Amino acid sequence: MAYNDIDVPVYLVTGFLESGKTTFLDGTIHQNYFNIPETTLLILCEEGEIEYDEAELRRRRRTVIEVIEEAEDFTEDTLRYLAKKHRPERVLLEFNPLWSVSKLLQMELPEGWGIIQQIVTVDASCFEIYMKNLKSLFVEMVRDAELVLFNRCNKEQPLASFRRSVKVVNPAAEIIFENEDGEVEDIFEDCMPFDLDADVIDILEEDYGIWYVDMMDNPEDYEGKTVRYKGMVLKSEDLDADYFVAGRMAMTCCADDTSFIGYVCKYQEAPSLEMGSWVLVTASIHREYMQVYHDEGPVLYAKEIRPAEKPKEELVYFN
């Protein structure tokens, strides 16, 4: 559904139990900028340790709460019943990811309803446990999220690695890290494993994923610089003949969650490159609009393309 066709915006907030969903939503509801004169419907799909003040929300924020306790009760019919009962102008959905975000996104919502923002909350202190035991569910949550909010952060945690784990699944997601005092900045205080001041920035095979995400997040650091790395040739009908992508396959969860990640490269002799072959790319980097990005992004201008051997490990792993 196009945004223009949405009469009742739905804000989807999901995250594992005790990840901070309620705290985030309750704080948002009480912000003046988020206040509206009409009814807001808050649907809860699980109840954590922190509870809403239902009477206060109804009185001061015109927000009504409905609780759906069982996955089998979260149906299209239930949502239509709630739409008719409350006739809300806005819906906040605190969703249990164990009920499957993918199934939710495939549901037919009540007439006029449409999800306009997806937010994922993450307890940073538990993130490595999530990725070890619930990785597929986490990938499902963040794949289409506009915002991923890590809370309970500290500088001893590998926050840069956490960011990479999200970015490889969803490059467009905004990622925020918060501790008890607010937003955490400078998570890339440690030096990159390559020299950004070198005449030619050499990217080792094992550092490809780090470089890919860092250039996505900090394109200004790479503007006008020259990079050299090994990648596999991918061609696309969405690109002109003198463009290709030299990238790598990345796995975030399992074989089913493998995707190709790379940047567009302009090369006059691109038509002569064999699809799937490995090349050593030396190219200058410039940020510009590309239709395939649907936005501005790094574009590599090849200075030299040479045949290369397949790396010992073809996959880039994001833990």
User: Taking the chain (319 residues) in consecutive chunks of 10 residues, what is each chunk's mean pLDDT?
Assistant: 78 94 93 92 85 91 95 96 97 96 95 96 93 89 94 87 82 86 65 85 88 89 96 92 93 67 95 96 95 90 95 72
- Per residue, the 3-state secondary structure of 162-218, as one string, reads HHHHHHCCCCCCEEEEEECCEECCCCCCCCCCCCCCCCCEECCHHHHHHHHHHHHHC
Residue 1's pLDDT is 53
CA distance 204 to 241: 28
Alpha-helical segments (H) within 19-93 = 21-29, 54-61, 76-86
pTM of the model: 0.68
CA distance 217 to 220: 9
CA distance 16 to 288: 38
CB 58 within 8 A of CB 33: no
Cβ burial 194-205 (10 Å sphere, 16+ → b, else e): beeeeeebebee
User: Which residues, 6 or more positions from 105, have their beta carbon under 8 angstroms from its beta carbon?
Assistant: 115, 144
Residue 2's pLDDT is 54
Nearest one of 216, 106, 116, 218 to 172, comparing CA atoms: 216
Cβ neighbours of 14 (radius 10 Å): 25
Residue 304's pLDDT is 97
DSSP codes of every residue in 242-310: TEEEEEEEEESSSGGGEEEEEEEEE-TTGGGSPTT-EEEEEEEEEEEEETTTTEEEEEEEEEEEEE-PP
Residue 161's pLDDT is 79
Write out the H or E segment, with its range, that includes residue 135: helix 135-142
Q: Which two tokens stand for residue 249?
A: 């396959």
Nearest one of 103, 113, 117, 177 to 146, comparing CA atoms: 117
SS3 at position 130: helix
CA distance 291 to 305: 24
